[in-house]
Amino acid sequence: MSKKVLIATVKPFASKAVEDIKKICKDIGYDFILLEKYAEQSDLVNAVENIDALIVRSDKVTREVITNAKNLKIVVRAGAGYDNIDFEVASEKDIVVMNTPGQNSNAVAELAFGMMVFMARGQFNGKPGTELKGKRLGIHAYGNVGKNVARIAKGFGMEVVAYDPYVDKEDIEADNVIPINTVEELYNTCDYVSINLPLIPETKGIVNDKLLSIMKRGATIINTARKEIICEDSLIKVFSVREDLEYASDIAPGKKDEIIEKFGNRIYFTPKKMGAQTLEANINAGIAAINQIINYFENGETTFQVNK
Ligand code: 3PG
């Protein structure tokens, strides 16, 4: 029987990406099912009933979803962060979970610079701002996005440093980036800090009052990772006494209203998560996702499995 692949995206892929995925399914003889912009979580729960494979973005693949998907063998998160997938239940049921690392990282890195320039120019308020050239940029976590941030920063003429205890110093240096020994040094010495950490239990709230309070005078944090990486209470506490600090984030924090009311134009939040919202990223991540599914079914390939 032919495999049934469901793409379920509250925030849809660009239509070209959907067409490409559909064609790949057709060519191999898999059924293609599309659920876009669904309004209720129950729509997803109902749609998964007979499917063999699921492609999602930030959609919530909960216990209820997985339990209702009796034939499900593989879930691919078309993107980097897989904190939206209930790993425990997926593993219990021997369902393979994958992401598509690197496929949307240029898009996220470009957005980081869009936000950096926007903040440096006073959110385009018409008053004199500052330039990125000559400023020190600290990259917090040197993964796929961090590497792209470093590459673009050099074009701006920034001094680029990075902190990542899981990446060899030599690998960071090979990109002409200065590896920093402690996270405190990164926050203490940089004009801009770009947060590029994945959200895992160890990184939740990792940017706390200790790090925020030692930030360099006039520094700006650019967060294109998850909002949970920053401890919101710490942000409120430190920003109340450090009027020189600024924060831009790709997606609003939980305490958005309070933070905007208190800190006004020192803060910027995108209305929706925008990092991977480009045609190119959608095509890259979407095609990688369907190819990984095909490779899994046809060849047992599990290279990008994240719940091994
Ligand atoms: C990711 O984790 O890949 C990015 O945050 C993009 O998420 P999105 O696909 O929901 O836009």
pLDDT digit string, tens, across residues 12-39: 999 999 999 999 999 999 999 999 999 9
Cα 208 to middle of ligand 1, angstroms: 23
What is the band of 7 on the pLDDT scale with cuts at 50, 70, 90?
A: very high
The whole-number average pLDDT for the span 183-210 is: 97
Locate the ligand 1 atom nearest the alpha carbon of residue 274 and give its number.
11
The answer to whether 123 and 265 have CB atoms below 8 angstroms apart is yes
Nearest CA to ligand 1 atom 6: 276
Cα 244 to middle of ligand 1, angstroms: 30
The whole-number average pLDDT for the span 49-59 is: 98
Q: Closest Cα to residue 194, out of 249, 261, 139?
A: 139
Q: pLDDT digit string (tens) for 256-292? A: 999 999 999 999 999 999 999 999 999 999 999 999 9
What integer pLDDT is reported at residue 238 of this predicted model?
98
What integer pLDDT is reported at residue 110 of this predicted model?
98
Cα 241 to middle of ligand 1, angstroms: 33
What CA–CA distance (Å, rounded) separates 65 from 45? 5
What integer pLDDT is reported at residue 308 of this predicted model?
85
Is the pLDDT reported for residue 296 higher than 90?
yes
Q: pLDDT digit string (tens) for 146-176? A: 999 999 999 999 999 999 999 999 999 999 9
Joined together, the tokens standing for residue 183 give 């996270």
Task: Report the pocket of ligand 1 as residue ranges, CB < 6 Å.
Answer: 11, 57-58, 79-81, 104, 273, 275-277
Q: pLDDT digit string (tens) for 66-75? A: 999 999 999 9
What CA–CA distance (Å, rounded) separates 151 from 134? 15
Q: What angle do CA 258, 130, 152 make, to 5 degrees?
A: 90
Cα 110 to middle of ligand 1, angstroms: 14
What integer pLDDT is reported at residue 53 of this predicted model?
98
Q: How many Cα atoms within 13 Å fall on the side-chain side of residue 207? A: 28
What integer pLDDT is reported at residue 1 of this predicted model?
79
Locate the ligand 1 atom nearest the alpha carbon of residue 226 and give its number.
5
- The percent of residues above 90 in pLDDT, for the chain, comes to 99
What CA–CA distance (Å, rounded) separates 225 from 197? 6
Its pTM stands at 0.95
What is the band of 45 on the pLDDT scale with cuts at 50, 70, 90?
A: very high
Domains along the sequence of the chain with CATH: 4-103+278-299 (3.40.50.720), 105-269 (3.40.50.720)
Q: Closest Cα to residue 83, out of 97, 71, 67?
A: 97
Q: Closest Cα to residue 195, out of 223, 220, 215, 214?
A: 223
- The percent of residues above 70 in pLDDT, for the chain, comes to 100
- Residue 4, φ and ψ in degrees, nearest 5: -110, 120
DSSP result, the chain? ---EEEEEESSPPPHHHHHHHHHHHHHHT-EEEEEES-SSHHHHHHHTTT-SEEEESS--B-HHHHHH-TT--EEEESSS--TTB-HHHHHHTT-EEEE-TTTTHHHHHHHHHHHHHHHHTTTT-SS----STT-EEEEES-SHHHHHHHHHHHHTT-EEEEE-TTS-HHHHHTTT-EE-S-HHHHHHH-SEEEE-----GGGTT-B-HHHHHTPPTT-EEEE-S-GGGB-HHHHHHHHHH-TT-EEEESS--TTHHHHHHHHGGGEEE-SS--TT-SHHHHHHHHHHHHHHHHHHHHH---TTBS--
Q: What is the mean pLDDT of the chain?
A: 97
Which of 9, 10, 57, 203 maximizes ligand 1 atoms within 8 Å of its Cβ, making it the mutation to test the pocket? 57
Is the pLDDT reported for residue 215 higher than 90?
yes
